[in-house]
A and B are shown apart, each in its own frame.
Chain A
Amino acid sequence: DIQMTQSPSSLSASVGDRVTITCRASQGIRNDLGWYQQKPGKAPKRLIYATSYLQNGVPSRFSGSGSGTEFTLTISSLQPEDFATYYCLQHNLYPWTFGQGTKVEIK
């Protein structure tokens, strides 16, 4: 199985901060990676697909980059509604695997 190592597992940040979350794959996955946001009691919502493509309706402050084994989700200016848990998902090889999540909390 491809292991997805996500870091950090949690972070505290203030509104307006730039936030970066990283996912590292145990082997190359081309650009077959997505980023999801999950709020309490809700299903995950996709923000980014194919590493860097913004899902329709997602604010442009979210961006994704990377290739191969190292991927990054960046929130350019954190907003109050962005406090949530973020996950990466590799869909290059079965079984598809998720990162363990990054909880973004208010500082």
Chain B
Amino acid sequence: QLQLQQSGPGLVKPSETLSLTCSVSGGSTSVSGFYWGWIRQSPGKGLEWIGSMYYNGSTYYNPSLKSPVTISVDTSKNQFSLRLSSMTAADMALYYCARARGWFGFDYWSQGTLVTVSS
């Protein structure tokens, strides 16, 4: 059974960078056919797809995000990460990592991390 365990700070200062990591167990980030993604949820905007990375390193990001986004993978640690720069109050949300098998949408989700932006 695949499990996704998130880690990272729940509090970020305005203009700073959010870094979240998702550790994968019960599966591998280097196996073909899977996408590893990030989604966030806020009261104002609902569920919002942030971006995804294919197993081969190709990345796809949501162009509506105002803050620069980077998704990367560390196959040696079986982890993938999200970096969101220049955080503002608009980026406050519950952040999830998730896996998509092929082109079938997200099947496994993490427990989520609530991120607050405050000085």
- Interface residue ranges, A against B (CB under 8 Å): 1, 32-34, 43-46, 49-50, 55, 87, 89, 91, 94-98, 100-101
Contact = CB atoms under 8 A, between A and B. Distances in A.
Contact of A50 (B47, B52, B104, B106): B104
Interface residues of B, number: 20
B46 A101 contact: yes
A98 B49 contact: yes
B64 A1 contact: yes
SS class of chain A's interface: helix, strand, loop or mixed?
Answer: loop
Interface string B77-119: 0000000000000000000100010011111011110000000
Contacts of A98: 46-49
Contacts of B111: 43
Interface of B: 46-49, 52, 60, 62-64, 96, 100, 103-107, 109-112
B10 to A, nearest CB: 15
B112 A43 contact: yes
B109 A49 contact: no
A80 to B, nearest CB: 23
A87 B106 contact: no
Contact of A89 (B60, B62, B106): B106
Given A43-B109, A49-B105, 19 more contacts: A43-B96, A43-B112, A44-B47, A44-B109, A46-B107, A49-B104, A49-B107, A50-B104, A87-B46, A89-B47, A91-B100, A91-B103, A91-B105, A95-B63, A95-B64, A96-B49, A98-B47, A98-B48, A98-B49
